Structure 1
Amino acid sequence: MSYQHTPTEMSGEQVQVAIIGTGFSGLCMAIKLLEAGITNFVLLEKKDQIGGTWRDNTYPGCACDVQSHLYSYSFEGNPEWSKVFSGWKEIQDYTLGCAEKYGLNKYVRTNFEVKSAVFDETQGVWTLTSVDGHQVKTQTFVMGTGPLHVPAIPNLPGLDSFKGEVFHSAEWNHDFNMKGKKVASIGTGGSAIQYVPEIAPEVDQLYVYQRTPAWVLPRNERAYTGVEKWMFRNVPGARKMYRSMLYWMNESRLLPILHPKMANLLSKLAKLHIRKYIKDPELREKLTPNYTIGCKRILISNRYLPTFNRSNVELVTDGIQSIGEDHIVTRDGKKREVDAIILGTGFHADPRNYMKNFTIQGKDGMKLLDAWKEGAEAYFGITVKGFPNMFQLVGPNTGLGHNSVIFMIESQVHYVIECLKKMKAKNAQTLEVKPDVQAGFNEWVQAGLKNTVWSSGCASWYLQDDGKNFTIWPGSTWSYRLKTRNVPDQSFYWKALSELPSKATAQASDQLSVSDQTAPLAATK
């Protein structure tokens, strides 16, 4: 089903809450708003269908590396997951089903790509403007876009001159017939590790260009039996108990991450995994990382390593020197003719890159990317000083390397709802985290990341160029949930409309009235 809303329908729309993005974050936020009795909101989606990662990534073999029963909402269990790690289609169908069940479709505004968000200090209102000039005004602005949605295209000499097929893994060309073709796959991250084994039997020749090898662990990949599904459906507590087991099993993987000496034990397991499948010592050495396991994303697969035993697959570890119309030349001077290039090069994780075409302007004309010029920071990854009534889901330092991010999303959504309830109780038009509170929190975060595997010296998309980790939460997910259960009054400035700076009343008609902005809050439970 498509949820089409033309931009002209939205010109001048006024709401209490505007959510950008309709992936797991945005939909969770919307569901919990309805649960809290808040119905005056919109979900703004830049494409023509809801969804996020699992709408966009449809490459062969695309699947989640977190177990399906855990990579789903705690309040919306699905006893029908087909296997332990579900593919993109099944996950996308789950999100579409959630939208249908909770009646979210009428709140979705598709084809609305936000290019700017500007805060009016005198009214305590955000104006969101689309790329085609239409606007939505809102008291509360929630970013549910997620950090990994803008493909990273490498700056390779001559890539633009290549005459064959070129596409990123997140923009897979399903019309391209690979049968009998010579294909180059650039990158060996989380996407490539899934599609490489899928396309290898199909192509005539596959060149896998690797800059840095990844640590690969076994994947407990299997389908659920009919008996298991019956139990999940019919035995009280069975599904929740199974989900809880998965959660604590994953949570235990944090120990070697926080304690690098324990990581050495995990790396021995990973080396055994490599040795099991790769008998050629030279090839095995190329596929074995020389950095501490966990410093970069750990990948899980039973099929990736065996792929390199195929006669039509070559691992290329010499750097790319240039690309011509029908070939790639590596730094050792070797030329390999190819018909297609697949970019398995991941995404822009640093918001200073993936948000560079999205202007967010808060108080005193401050732009968010200027505030983050030394690196992205937020209070619990949710609120940012100088940007009242703006909330971010899966924001700075709330990413994970060991468990389900859905758990973090639900914690953050709960926190935002608590903020809205307190604003209503205090008759506050704006909420803003105090600068010293944000600074103290981020000092604590960075201190917590010291002496972990993430600070062991490898280059990673978790880190800025200067080595600062802007991505990862430095502890357990349950500790994050405990810290975000309540909203401390003293951490924020709470201001009523009468306390905001004044301006000429000539512009008042162009702003939301006090009743328009605050009336929906009265319905909050």
Structure 2
Amino acid sequence: MNTTGSPLTPTYEVIIIGAGLGGIGAGVALRRAGVENFLIIDKWPKVGGTWLANTYPGVAVDIPSPIYNFSFQQRSQWSRLFAPGSELQRYAEEVVDAQGLRNKLRLGAGATKSVFDEIDHLWRVTLEDGSVLTARFVIGAVGGLEQPSTPDIPGIEEYTGKLMHSSRWDHDYDPGGKRVAVIGTGASALQLIPELAESVSRLTVYQRRAIWIAPKPDFAMGPVLNAVLNFPPVQKTVRAVGNVGVNAGLGAGLAVSNYPRVTGAGLTIGETALRAYLFAQVRDPELRRKLTPDYRLGCKRPSVSNSYFRAFTRPHVDLVTTGIERFTPTGIVTADGTARDADMVVLATGFKVMEKGYTPPYPIYGRGGIELGDFWDAHRFQAYQGVSVPRFPNAFLIVGPYAYAPGSYIPLIEATSAHAARVIGEARRRGATCVEVRQEPHDRYFERMDRRAKRTHLFSQGCASSNTYYINYQGDGAAFRPSTQLEMYWENRHFPLDDYRFGTVSPVRTGANGSGATIPAPVR
């Protein structure tokens, strides 16, 4: 507690929590706003976030590489159209160096708690080693795909073989020639399963829901194509057109949610095409039936692969659709009583997205000691433009509720980073030490997004039973923004600054406990 009678000056103007592409993008946005006194912290020893943590065999971006880069630093040298994850991690390193952010990093320093000081208008961020950093503003750049989801299966703790989550791959263990089981058939499993099928003696895949898959137009980029992309006008055109195309492919149904007939017709056409692709890959009707989703296209993020379906046609690969009953010390027993032994079990079971205790992954205490996770649990996940939450002054999110308009994550990062930097820049201009989003504009945004989301096919065509992370445990579509990325881009850069309330710390205290500080009136 400050007992000097004078306002405390924080060590940093801004702390960015997370050194993935989100934190890097936020750092660049701050520099563009003239902010230099900031620090980027991360629990990992290197930058890259998702692309550092996920190193399982076959990991790759599912967005074409030429458009999966920042507008301010477009990369033209890619090995493939859909680059492997290691190249994305190297790209993150390249951006850090090119943008002069290396001396702004403190790695191996994860946050365990953030507390807002209402008297001195600053945040105290506790690190894993127990040290505390102070900053006027905090930007949370921990991605949505951060906290692994481990299934609650009876007996899992008794299993004596090798158990690992796909996002925490142990490269010291060689699965070659072994009996391997994979639980889950989502986006990670889609890439992992064909790779494992090449080397293991027996591969058993436990599927709860089949997944919609399109062919992957992947190919080696080569020196000629990379040279063409290195020409700035071509590079910018490809990125712009590609982002529009990806947004249309992934988010068109959300953008035209008020036109259910158009949406339904589009989904039917897409489903017919993808069923035809499955038919061309798998001729066994029973296997094809197991691999056909029982929910509408678009309930989950669509995936692409040229090898996933064919992996199941190999004689040593089994697809099990009967539910798992329990683990044994040597394997897995399904509900029909069948026991299958496995030397290794891979949990390709995704991440905890918009779940209590995991989004955010550490406690954040705002005004009045309210904790952000508890607030969202009690009042539903919500944030103005996906960035700001009332009662949490001087705090911003890069991937908050209703932030992400489906498509590439890069435009999202640039949009929300620009939002946070604009507010911080305005606070500097006004000499304000405290800024908080007003309740009325926040509520209008939440109500608009919630209303739109509930009109989408996610809530009208049976998606709730598809186990999609787009719909959280509260029955809300908080993980996505039901809009085009163009709207996301524009609104995060042109929102009325009056949607925020600005205030200052009193320069003179009336008491040792700082009771003379002026704090903006509570947001109403």
Q: TM-score, normalised by structure 1?
A: 0.91
Mapped to 1, the partners of 2:270 and 2:355 lie a distance apart of 31
1:337-352 counterparts in 2 under 5 A? 337-352=341-356
Mapped to 1, the partners of 2:121 and 2:169 lie a distance apart of 42
**Mean CA deviation greater in 182-191 or 250-259:** 250-259
Task: Please name the residue that 2:490 is paired with.
Answer: 482
Task: Please name the residue that 1:410 is paired with.
Answer: 414
Mapped to 1, the partners of 2:157 and 2:243 lie a distance apart of 45
Q: Does 1:200 align with 2:197?
A: yes
Q: Is the 8 A contact 1:47 1:110 kept in 2?
A: yes
Q: Does 1:380 align with 2:391?
A: no
Mapped to 2, the partners of 1:489 and 1:172 lie a distance apart of 45
Mapped to 1, the partners of 2:148 and 2:12 lie a distance apart of 31
- Closer/same/farther in 2, CA of residues 446 and 355 from structure 1, 3 Å limit: closer
Task: Please name the residue that 1:515 is paired with.
Answer: none
Q: Does 1:292 align with 2:296?
A: yes
Equivalent of residue 468 in structure 1, options 476, 484, 497:
476
Mapped to 2, the partners of 1:174 and 1:181 lie a distance apart of 15
Q: Does 1:396 align with 2:392?
A: no
Q: Does 1:246 align with 2:242?
A: yes
Mapped to 2, the partners of 1:346 and 1:163 lie a distance apart of 22
Q: Does 1:498 align with 2:506?
A: yes
Mapped to 2, the partners of 1:282 and 1:357 lie a distance apart of 42
Task: Please name the residue that 1:522 is paired with.
Answer: none
Secondary structure of the 1:352 match is coil
1:20-99 counterparts in 2 under 5 A? 20-99=17-96
Q: Does 1:440 align with 2:444?
A: yes
Q: Is the 8 A contact 1:84 1:223 kept in 2?
A: yes
Q: Does 1:237 align with 2:226?
A: no
Letter matched to residue 193 of structure 2: V
Where structure 2 has 5 or more consecutive residues not aligned to the other structure, the ranges are: 1-8, 258-262, 518-524
* CA positional deviation for 1:13: 7.2
**Mean CA deviation greater in 451-460 or 167-176:** 451-460
- 4+ residue runs of structure 1 moved beyond 6 angstroms? none
Secondary structure of the 1:183 match is strand
* CA positional deviation for 1:465: 2.4
Q: TM-score, normalised by structure 2?
A: 0.91
* CA positional deviation for 1:466: 3.5
- Closer/same/farther in 2, CA of residues 323 and 503 from structure 1, 3 Å limit: farther
Mapped to 1, the partners of 2:240 and 2:16 lie a distance apart of 30
Secondary structure of the 2:187 match is coil
Secondary structure of the 1:132 match is coil
Cα deviations across residues 456-500 of structure 1 (Å, max 9, x unaligned)?
A: 322311112242111111010001111111241321111122399
Letter matched to residue 238 of structure 2: Y
Mapped to 2, the partners of 1:92 and 1:99 lie a distance apart of 11
Task: Please name the residue that 2:165 is paired with.
Answer: 168
Letter matched to residue 411 of structure 1: A
**Mean CA deviation greater in 419-428 or 257-266:** 257-266
Letter matched to residue 246 of structure 1: G
Secondary structure of the 2:30 match is helix
Secondary structure of the 1:411 match is helix
* CA positional deviation for 1:408: 1.0
Mapped to 1, the partners of 2:278 and 2:391 lie a distance apart of 49
* CA positional deviation for 1:240: 1.1
Task: Please name the residue that 2:328 is paired with.
Answer: 324
Q: Is the 8 A contact 2:380 2:474 kept in 1?
A: no
* CA positional deviation for 1:153: 0.6
Secondary structure of the 1:497 match is coil
Q: Does 1:227 align with 2:224?
A: yes
**Mean CA deviation greater in 141-150 or 355-364:** 355-364
Letter matched to residue 395 of structure 2: M
Mapped to 2, the partners of 1:349 and 1:355 lie a distance apart of 7
State how many pairs are aligned: 495
Q: Is the 8 A contact 2:14 2:37 kept in 1?
A: yes
* CA positional deviation for 1:451: 2.8
Mapped to 2, the partners of 1:174 and 1:97 lie a distance apart of 25
Q: Is the 8 A contact 1:57 1:171 kept in 2?
A: yes
Letter matched to residue 393 of structure 1: I
Letter matched to residue 337 of structure 1: D
Q: Does 1:370 align with 2:374?
A: yes
Task: Please name the residue that 2:260 is paired with.
Answer: none
Secondary structure of the 1:353 match is coil
Mapped to 1, the partners of 2:183 and 2:424 lie a distance apart of 45
Cα deviations across residues 196-224 of structure 1 (Å, max 9, x unaligned)?
A: 00010200000000001111111111111
Q: Is the 8 A contact 2:405 2:484 kept in 1?
A: no
Secondary structure of the 1:118 match is strand
* CA positional deviation for 1:89: 0.7
* CA positional deviation for 1:103: 2.0
1:270-309 counterparts in 2 under 5 A? 270-309=274-313
Q: Is the 8 A contact 1:418 1:486 kept in 2?
A: no
Cα deviations across residues 181-210 of structure 1 (Å, max 9, x unaligned)?
A: 110000000100001000102000000000
Q: Is the 8 A contact 1:418 1:487 kept in 2?
A: no
* CA positional deviation for 1:21: 0.4
Equivalent of residue 144 in structure 1, options 133, 141, 144:
141
Cα deviations across residues 240-276 of structure 1 (Å, max 9, x unaligned)?
A: 1111221122122233454233211111111111111
- Closer/same/farther in 2, CA of residues 476 and 355 from structure 1, 3 Å limit: closer
Mapped to 2, the partners of 1:260 and 1:492 lie a distance apart of 39
Q: Is the 8 A contact 1:260 1:451 kept in 2?
A: no
Mapped to 1, the partners of 2:473 and 2:14 lie a distance apart of 35
* CA positional deviation for 1:72: 0.9
Task: Please name the residue that 2:123 is paired with.
Answer: 126
- Closer/same/farther in 2, CA of residues 503 and 23 from structure 1, 3 Å limit: farther
Secondary structure of the 2:455 match is coil
- Closer/same/farther in 2, CA of residues 59 and 127 from structure 1, 3 Å limit: same
Secondary structure of the 1:185 match is strand
Secondary structure of the 1:420 match is helix
Letter matched to residue 490 of structure 1: D
* CA positional deviation for 1:428: 1.4
Q: Is the 8 A contact 1:129 1:136 kept in 2?
A: yes
**Mean CA deviation greater in 139-148 or 345-354:** 345-354
Give the CA RMSD over aligned residues: 1.9
